[in-house]
Amino acid sequence: MSYNIDGKTAIVTGAASGIGRATAERLAAEGANVAVVDIDIEGGEETVARIEDDEGVARFIETDVSDEADVERMVKATVDEFGSLELAHNNAGIEGESATTAEHTKANWDRVVDTNMKGVWLCMKHEIPAMLEGDGEGAIVNTSSISGQTGAGDAPYVATKHGILGLTRTAAVEYAQEGIRVNAVAPGVIDTPVSNRFREENPEEFEQFVQMAPVGRMGEPMEIGNAVAWLLSEEASFATGGLFQIDGGFMAL
Ligand SMILES: NC(=O)c1ccc[n+]([C@@H]2O[C@H](COP(=O)([O-])OP(=O)(O)OC[C@H]3O[C@@H](n4cnc5c(N)ncnc54)[C@H](O)[C@@H]3O)[C@@H](O)[C@H]2O)c1
């Protein structure tokens, strides 16, 4: 199925790998011009090459989403390159160190919160005015998690994924009348480098976690990318402020 996003411009953060790369590829396949945003230069260039091999349009913009000057420059570079901004998937995230609540270091807390939650806010802070400056049309999807609704995970990570839901709902309410829709996706366990690191460190615990989802398997990055493409498209025109579970039934239990 194809979605109505042809010719629009999309920012995808964390697009050098995993879920972000899948979304970038799906949006480009639907005819969007894609700003591939990441701190990982090699992975970002690879995403662009994969899109161009499929005759899509993409440009890598090296950006640290936790740095406001970097984010501001990235949004400006996207509009300069493609002429407008209509779509964004704010997805860059890290899991941080593993520890109990009392054992986390402040340095780890700051790194995870700055990347995952402040990063999403900074991106929306600069994306929304760029969308309003165009023809006032916009759609944003932020990546939360099943950890945004449960205590499954480390405290800083879980806190940021809950926080992303709050940021999503607030922006959705504030900008609904101005034509900008804002939603969040909550992936379950998806087969990406993040989950593979967890699998290598704790194989038994990982397998148990995967089996907790009624479907009994991990999701593929493109199973998130497909959902994000729909949410960003005109076909999702009445969807805003929502949290969309893409988790193999995990949260239905
Ligand atoms: N994989 C899962 O099971 C799963 C489940 C739920 C939610 N998520 C979320 O999905 C998102 C993508 O995760 P993934 O599994 O694809 O992981 P990934 O590690 O494959 O991709 C994350 C990308 O974010 C980039 N990144 C990290 N810090 C950054 C920064 N400061 N600025 C810009 N880019 C930065 C990384 O370089 C990487 O390319 C994350 O927000 C993650 O929390 C993942």
Tell me which residue has its CA closest to atom 38 in ligand 1.
14
Count of CB atoms situated within 10 Å of the CB of 249: 13
Question: What pLDDT does 1 receive?
Answer: 66
Determine the Cα–Cα distance for residues 48 and 38; give it in Å rounded to an integer. 12
Nearest to 88 by CA among 15, 17, 9: 9
CA of 94 to the centre of ligand 1 (A): 5
Q: In order of start, what are the domains of the chain with their CATH numbers? A: 9-247 (3.40.50.720)
Is 11:78 a contact under the CB 8 Å cutoff?
A: yes
Distance 135 CA to ligand 1 centre (A): 30
How many Å lie between the centroid of ligand 1 and the Cα of residue 177? 31
pLDDT by residue for the chain (253 residues), tens only, comes to 689 999 999 999 999 999 999 999 999 999 999 999 999 999 999 999 999 999 999 999 999 999 999 999 999 999 999 999 999 999 999 999 999 999 999 999 999 999 999 999 999 999 999 999 988 789 999 999 999 999 999 999 999 999 999 999 999 999 999 999 999 999 999 999 999 988 998 999 999 999 999 999 999 999 999 999 999 999 999 999 999 999 999 999 9
Which protein residue has the closest C-alpha to ligand 1 atom 34?
Answer: 38
Alpha-carbon distance of 101 to 103, in angstroms, equals 6
Site residues for ligand 1, CB cut-off 6 Å: 13-14, 16-20, 38-40, 43, 63-66, 91-94, 115, 143, 145, 187, 189-190, 192-195
> Is residue 208 within 8 Å of 152, Cβ to Cβ?
no
Pocket test for ligand 1, best of 48, 90, 190, 217 (most atoms within 8 A of CB): 190
Q: How far apart are CA 12 and CA 65, in angstroms?
A: 11
**Residue positions annotated with a catalytic role:** 157
Substitution site in 13, 17, 126 for ligand 1 pocket (most atoms within 8 Å of beta carbon): 17
Distances (CA, A) of 185 to 41, 47, 50, 202, 220: 26, 21, 24, 26, 14
What is the sign of the dihedral through the CA atoms of 151, 98, 16 and 50? negative
Token pair in block for residue 195: 């989950």
